[in-house]
Structure 1
Amino acid sequence: MEEQIIFENRIFCFTGEFENYTRDELFNLVVKYGGLPAEKMTLDVHYLIYGSVPNPHFKYGAFGNKYKTAHEMLASKIGNIIGIFPEDIFLSSLENTTLNANRLLIKSDSLKLLKRISPGKPRMKRSEILLRPLDASNYDWSFYVPNCFNEELDIRQTIRTDPVKDANGDIVKKANGKPKTIQRLVWTQGNFFTFQKGDTIYDTSLAYQEWGHALKHIKRMITIKYAQPVEFEEWQNKRSPGEVIFSLTIFQNGELKESENKTLTQDEFVKYLIDG
């Protein structure tokens, strides 16, 4: 078995009860570090992680039938199984794993991608390059758009299926001659933007601190008054760019000055968030 658990592109199954985490929290940790969770032990699973809390209803102390199945698969060298580990090894491996950090994303990078995907093809393939990184502090847009706006930016997780390759880069095949594949869960970018009425966006991340403190740092605030999302018009086989009507409030010398309403398409509004 591998001494260090590898998370990137690996599938994890869990059994038993864990001391400090619920099953959903464990699934989220796996996804955060580039893996994919599985509810059941299948031939695709790479790791079985078992909890440390004993349960009298389990056949094997702290875990159940998944443990027996994984042991049999490991002994028989069936499937993708790499190892069976207790929760403390799983958690220590998390501590020793560095999250993939995106480089600083500058405005021009985002604008180039926006130009490429928007208006784009009506049914474009979702891009694994994002308009702005999930590390919402690592980019220099004119406005701060936190992860709670992922849906509005059409950023979401997608399951991708890739062929398994050996150390030489050759595709590994099954006994029937078909390529062996692995699924991975990745963040992807589309071009169906959905900013909506009531959305409020500030020019600084400090706006999300205690309000009295935040007011000392906010210089600009966008308030959306009306919006129509980007939509696909089946009958014309084209993408409708939507609409956003918003006001811009300027904070200056303790005074607030709200501009007249501006009207942009959803595409133009995203460009405005990037470039100002």
Structure 2
Amino acid sequence: MSTLRHAELADFLRARRARVRPAEVGLPEGVRRRTPGLRRQEVAQLAGISIDYYIRIEQGRGPHPSRQVLAALARALLLSRNERAYLFRLAGESPPEATGPSREVPAGLRHLLDAMTDTPAYLVDAAYDVLAWNRLAAWFVGDLTAVPVGDRNMIRWMFRREVPESYWRDPEVLTFARTSIADLRAAYGRYPADPALAALVTELLGVSPRFAALWAEHEVGERRPTVKRVTHPELGPLEFECRVLHVPETDQRLIVYVPEPGSPTQAAFHRVGERTAAQLGT
């Protein structure tokens, strides 16, 4: 254990406390808040520690906080993965290793998905479980509210669904599959203790010779953008770039279908967006 940096830890906690809005942690905004962010007693309550103990830590005169207290403070202050690691290091502790892919969807990403009314987009974790999606994405990934959470996995869909052999002779399909497997293997290496990820790989090795062949190539790397050409049963022929945006703080991927400006695909997306909004009365 290294040295506790009292002053820096206190400054960091005060700065992070001021950043969190009460509504983000389920607290009322109130009318008598003279400063932004949470009050000290609210942080203590959310972390499950005494207010006196938290005040001493934030004033740089408290005892060495335990790993359990640090983890509780990280949750209470909605710290990202990098911020949590920094908090532990300030307290003289080694950061905890992530045991599995993060499934927590940041509020900002949910708002971003909802705001993308003309562009299909969805969020997946490092194991390619679909965590959130917008209205247009449902036209491509289906109504996932009717699918059990454990079955919302893109890699499983890719290799367990029945398709004609000609499907796999498409170079774009193979590129998409190969880069997805390379990204999955990278996650497999980052989270060796995650049972769900290990179970997914074991399952697909047993049921999909094509997955097994690609897995045996031992390619490792992040997903790259690809051009997709599909024939949608209702929208007809579509062409768009499947852009993958990495979210560093959660190790998630925001997958966005980006059409060429002025293209028929962009027009089709716009029509569907307007139709969906009209149906929902928004």
TM range (shorter): under 0.3
More strand by share: 1
TM-score under structure 2 length normalisation: 0.22
Answer 1 or 2: higher relative contact order, Cα 8 Å, separation at least 6: 2
